[in-house]
């Protein structure tokens, strides 16, 4: 009977030690998770404050190009910032992929799928300036406040 009591006491002692180890491990994991959360929060704040490129407002020429884009209804076939039609390609970053001369020629004369809109050289230059501006700003979606109920967007209202 006495050996049985001693065995039970030894088992309780082992369980007590195991619980202490488990509790210390849980405490250590909580400290590590807290440190990771603090580090992630500090890094996120740093990225938010210092790594975001400042918004680039369109100049007068690019603004005129945007108005031509709207007047000629280019968004019915093309997308910019993920908005628009699906018949033509997304033009958000086309200025990075093609030369200005290529863009001018393509816009001026059209192709089999894209009509020739009989644009003047000034209108073509304005559209190219707008596409270059879009390329500089065009890695993000348009903010909801800049989307009009018709599906068009207002670049002057980007936040």
pTM: 0.56
The pLDDT confidence band at residue 37, using thresholds 50, 70 and 90, is very high
Residue 6 has pLDDT above 70, yes or no: no
Residues 89 and 128 in one domain: yes
DSSP states of the chain: -HHHHHHHHHHHHHHHHHHHHHHHHHHHHHHHHHHHHHHHHHHHHHHHHHTSPPP----HHHHHHHHHHHHTTGGGT-EETTEE-SSS-B-TTHHHHS-HHHHHHHHHH--SSS------HHHHHHHHHHHHHHHHHTTSPPPGGGB-TTS-B-GGG--
Q: What is the pLDDT of residues 84-138, one digit of tens each?
A: 888 888 898 899 889 999 999 999 998 888 889 999 999 999 999 999 999 988 6
Residues 48 and 79 in one domain: no
Residues 68 and 131 in one domain: yes
Show the domain range for 93. Answer: 60-157
Residues 43 and 64 in one domain: no
Residues 41 and 19 in one domain: yes
């Amino acid at each position: 009977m006495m050996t049985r009591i001693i065995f039970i006491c030894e088992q309780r002692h082992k369980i007590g030690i195991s619980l202490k180890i488990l509790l210390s491990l849980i405490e250590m994991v909580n400290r590590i998770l807290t440190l990771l959360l603090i580090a992630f929060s500090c890094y996120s704040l740093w990225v938010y404050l210092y790594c975001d490129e400042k918004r680039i407002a369109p100049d007068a020429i690019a603004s005129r190009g945007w108005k031509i884009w709207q007047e000629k209804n280019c968004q019915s076939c093309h997308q910019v910032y993920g908005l628009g039609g699906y018949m033509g390609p997304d033009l958000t970053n086309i200025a990075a992929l093609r030369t200005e001369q290529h863009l001018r020629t393509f816009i001026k004369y059209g192709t089999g799928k894209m009509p020739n809109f009989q644009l003047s050289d000034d209108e073509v230059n304005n559209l190219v300036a707008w596409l270059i501006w879009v390329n500089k700003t065009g890695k993000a979606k348009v903010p909801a406040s800049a989307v009009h109920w018709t599906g068009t967007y207002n670049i002057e209202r980007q936040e």
